[in-house]
């Protein structure tokens, strides 16, 4: 349609992913965040988990993949993310990376995933106020079971560690961010044929998405990009500057960890 090879487009995605991940790795330091929300969003690479061939079951980079995301409740900044499995290893890696970017003691709200309990100890050594929010759902409608979640009828809040203010415990912002990711990145659409065929390409697209979200996109309530609100950026970035950033970054430059912005 546009006279450009698909390989050229894919190479541009790889270069953009490397450049955006490296820039955010360096920029997201000594952050003044005070209240954070964490969650994981599901996706898949190659095929859905139920369709993974027997000879490839358990192989990294095929089937279900989870993107761990943190958001600052005040500035809506995404300081850290990680693409990987939904297990203790990746939970700890994600929380440890997040802990290394913060200036102050923070309050963190997560869902009831048990891996977060050990991850908080690994990342913060107990120097964090961790609240756990578990949503209680009613019975779903039979004719909507496939597409609509059951109605949320309440929330149970618990102390994970430290001294969190339970009245302030919420996952509303991170759940809204999950919707933003699904709406703006076609690879995360639930019923799609635009899923990633390679894990690396999903990682690059996530890095590009969060760069645009943090530095370029005007947030509806902030009326500016989150990075500008948080003081991470000193000006409102443009897409032209993003292209210049990609051009300045060596194509072979690789992040220290290809599954995170660390």
- 190-249 residue pLDDT tens: 777 888 889 999 999 999 999 999 999 999 999 999 999 999 999 999 999 999 999 998
CA 187 to chain centre: 14
Per the domain annotation, does 16 fall within a domain? yes
pLDDT-wise least confident of 22-26, 112-116, 183-187, 242-246: 183-187
For position 199, which CATH number holds? 3.30.420.10
Tell me: pLDDT of 259 over 90.
no
- Provide the domain limits for residue 83: 6-248
pLDDT of residue 97: 97
Per the domain annotation, does 159 fall within a domain? yes
Q: Is the pTM of this model over 0.85?
A: yes
d(CA 75, CA 58): 38
Per the domain annotation, does 253 fall within a domain? no
Per the domain annotation, does 187 fall within a domain? yes
Into how many domains does the chain fold? 1
DSSP states along 14-62: HHHHHHHHHHHHHHS-SB---EEEEEEEEEEESS-GGG--GGGTT-TTS
Cα angle for residues 41, 45, 46 (degrees, 5° grid): 155
The arrangement of strands across the sheet holding 35-45 comes to 80-84, 63-72, 35-45, 107-110, 129-137, 152-161
Per the domain annotation, does 36 fall within a domain? yes
Question: Which position has the higher pLDDT, 31 or 255?
Answer: 31
Per the domain annotation, does 139 fall within a domain? yes
Q: Hey, which bits of the chain come out as E strands?
A: 35-45, 63-72, 80-84, 107-110, 129-137, 152-161
Per the domain annotation, does 99 fall within a domain? yes
Per the domain annotation, does 260 fall within a domain? no
Overall average pLDDT of the 173-189 stretch: 93
pLDDT digits (tens, 9 = 90+) for 104-150: 999 999 999 999 999 999 999 989 999 999 987 766 665 555 556 67
pLDDT digits (tens, 9 = 90+) for 50-108: 989 988 888 888 999 999 999 999 999 999 999 999 999 999 999 999 999 999 999 99
Categorize the per-residue pLDDT at 176 as very low, low, confident or very high, splitting at 50, 70 and 90: very high
Helix (H) or strand (E) holding 239: helix 239-248
Q: Do the Cβ atoms of 59 and 44 come closer than 8 Å?
A: no
């Amino acid at each position: 349609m546009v006279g450009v090879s698909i390989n050229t487009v894919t190479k541009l995605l790889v270069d953009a992913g490397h450049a955006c991940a490296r820039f955010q790795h360096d920029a997201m330091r000594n952050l003044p965040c005070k209240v954070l929300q964490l969650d994981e969003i599901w996706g898949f690479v190659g095929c859905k988990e139920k369709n993974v061939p027997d000879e490839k079951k358990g192989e990294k980079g095929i089937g279900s993949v989870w993107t761990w995301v943190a958001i600052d409740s005040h500035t809506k900044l995404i300081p850290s993310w990680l693409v990987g499995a939904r297990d203790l290893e990746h939970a700890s890696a994600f929380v440890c990376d997040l802990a290394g970017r913060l200036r102050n003691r923070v309050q963190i709200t997560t869902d009831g995933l048990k891996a977060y309990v050990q991850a908080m100890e690994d990342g913060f050594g107990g120097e964090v106020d961790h609240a756990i929010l578990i949503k209680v759902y009613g019975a779903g409608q039979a004719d909507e079971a496939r597409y609509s979640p059951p109605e949320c009828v309440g929330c149970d809040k618990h102390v994970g560690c430290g001294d969190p203010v339970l009245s302030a415990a919420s996952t509303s912002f991170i759940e809204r961010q999950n919707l933003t990711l699904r709406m703006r990145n076609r690879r995360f659409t639930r019923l799609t044929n635009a899923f990633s065929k390679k894990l690396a390409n999903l990682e690059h697209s996530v890095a590009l998405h969060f760069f645009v979200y943090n530095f370029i996109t005007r947030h509806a309530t902030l009326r500016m990009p989150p990075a500008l609100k948080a003081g991470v950026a000193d000006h409102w970035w443009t897409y032209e500057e993003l292209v210049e950033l990609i051009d300045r970054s060596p194509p072979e430059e690789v992040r220290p960890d290809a599954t995170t912005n660390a």
